[in-house]
Amino acid sequence: MFFQQRVWIAVLAILVSSNFTVSFCDQPVAVSDDISQQDQASAGGGKPKSETKKAASDAGQADFDDAVIKRIEAESPEQLAAVSTLLESALTKGLNEENESFAEKMLASVLVQRSQQVVALMQRVRGRRMLQLRDEALEFLRKATQSDPTLVEAYLMIAQLNILPEGNRDEMTTATSKAIELLVDEPIQQSRAYVLRAVAQEDAEKKMADLDSAIQADPSNIEALQARAGLRMQSDDVDGAMADLKLILAEDPGNQVVAQAAVQQLLDAERVDDAVELITKTLAAKPSEGMYRMRAILYRLQGKEDEALADLNKALAMQPKDPISLLQRSEIALSRGDIQAAKRDLKTAMGIAPQVADAEQAIVVRCLIAVEEGRMADAINDMKTLVDRDPTSIVRQLQLANLYLRDERPRQAIEILSAVLDRDPKNASVLRSRADALLSVGEHADAVADYERAAKVTQDDSVELPGILNNLAWVLATSPNDTLRDGNRAVEHGKRAAELTQFKEAHILSTLAAGYAEIGDFEKAIEWSRKAVELGESDENEQIEQLKEELESYRQNKPWREKQELEENKVPILSPEDLIDT
């Protein structure tokens, strides 16, 4: 519309510069300077005094008239370039004050249109060529602002183009500042200009000030609110960030992009409850399978499997062919021991998207199914795949080592754990796992050394410490190696492990009893062994029979001895090509 108005003004200019008079209320109105001055000459009998000056100021009139005519239909880059040339020529040669002002504004308009054509070309290219076109567009825009310093559109385009790589931050700041000044009576547009200037600011305080001004000018500016939320999150102002994100969702309740960004920021800040609350509000405004799936994942983090399953079912009702939701539901089925349901969802997910079979989550599910079905070779192959993908992942290597232990391949587990400890010698989890493996092959001295190292590097409030102390005490109390046993230390570590678990773990009380038996205090040994049996029976402990045998041994004043010498499983592990289809 603005461009059309300018075209009509150009048409009027042609009429104004023509040599005729227009009647208005029956009074002749002189339009042409030439006619006016001819009348003056007739009346005065000679040339007007300003004729020489007028001739100089109108030297560019012909080029100006030609430019105005060509401007009406100019669309192509070549046509617009021709108009620019004519206008520049007219201005150089000289125009009267009114036409000079008009020519400057028309030139600015043409230059902006030429820059827009160049920007359109930029979308079709990449790399250096795109940046070259950017510089060309910027040159047009700089000239446009010289011709018309009030042209807000040109300043905003200058700022936007400088956002690209190798852009000039100073020019961007100058252009947006000028736009902000010009838009004082247009708060919504001014708010957007503030956001652009905030992008150029390197100083966090200046950036925040611009975003504050943007929101003050237009409280509904979602882009400004989102940018300020991100900046607040970077400065650890999580509550401030959440306040901005809630304002966005109040304006646009169904904005899932913002909701997902907010949820991710809350998760980064370990505020899972707040993330769930935010998703719940978003779902109330606009249900979506993506939000249900996301909330299901968060429910799983909170240990709310029932709620997670309900949300996954809703997500799948809205989008039955969502492989991610199917994989999530498959994991829940596994945790509940429903192997068939887990296999069914996994198979369906891979049928929908075959590439899912190579996804980490799918491999994990497939591995766990194999474990539950006793196909340890298949499980090991899957876990080896994950380890190969990320050799630096200690978690995956621990999982592989544990699978080797479950498949009675302790020496392969020891090999993996030793390699990890070469890189991370103070990793308590790995030390404990290797000690367990060493214990299973009868290498008690090395196991004790690993347990002791693990205990030294484990924090007192660590959930792992009771297990480490218990296993160490057990070896010191029950090892057949006479030089290795140390009853007093066994009682010391056993007591601490029992205290840390509030005397509620049957196997730890069993260890404490073994320590007392080793130092010959069978009265104490029987007392703690009896409590271990009672707890074991109430908890349906799978080792209840051994607990009873230990108690009987102490009643006969006999200490307990145990030497594990697990025979290594020699059966070859199947290759991935031989994996059983689940």
CA distances in angstroms from 186 to 112, 155, 200, 209, listed in the order given: 21, 15, 22, 19
Q: Which amino acid is at 116?
A: Q
Average pLDDT, the chain: 86
Question: Does residue 381 contact residue 579 with C-beta atoms inside 8 Å?
Answer: yes
> Both ends of the chain: CA-CA distance in Å?
65
Confidence class of residue 494 from pLDDT cuts 50, 70 and 90? Answer: very high
459 pLDDT higher than 80: yes
Q: What is the pLDDT of residues 21-37, one digit of tens each?
A: 222 233 333 333 433 34
Q: Which pLDDT score is estimated for 38?
A: 39
- Can you list the positions of beta strands (E) in 393-493? none
Q: Which pLDDT score is estimated for 42?
A: 39
Q: What is the mean pLDDT of residues 50-69?
A: 75
Residue that wins the pLDDT comparison between 507 and 33 = 507
Q: Which pLDDT score is estimated for 573?
A: 75
12 pLDDT higher than 60: no
49 pLDDT higher than 80: no
Q: Which amino acid is at 176?
A: T
User: Which DSSP category does 357 fall into?
Assistant: G
Q: What is the pLDDT of residues 309-361, one digit of tens each?
A: 999 999 999 999 999 999 999 999 999 999 999 999 999 999 999 999 999 99
Q: Which pLDDT score is estimated for 56?
A: 54
Q: Which residues pair with 97 in a beta bridge?
A: none
pTM, full prediction:
0.56
Question: Does residue 252 contact residue 222 with C-beta atoms inside 8 Å?
Answer: yes
Q: What is the dihedral of CA 26, 31, 35, 41, to 10 degrees?
A: 80
Q: What is the mean pLDDT of residues 547-558?
A: 96
Q: How far is C-alpha 174 from the chain's CA centre? A: 32
Confidence class of residue 578 from pLDDT cuts 50, 70 and 90? Answer: low
Q: What is the mean pLDDT of residues 448-462?
A: 94
Q: Which of 251-255, 341-345, 363-367, 400-404 has the lowest mean pLDDT?
A: 251-255
Q: What is the dihedral of CA 468, 474, 479, 485, to 10 degrees?
A: 90
Q: Which pLDDT score is estimated for 489?
A: 97
Q: What is the C-alpha separation between 478 and 518, in angstroms, rounded? A: 8
18 pLDDT higher than 60: no
Does the CA dihedral 365-367-368-369 come out positive or negative? positive
Q: Which pLDDT score is estimated for 265?
A: 74
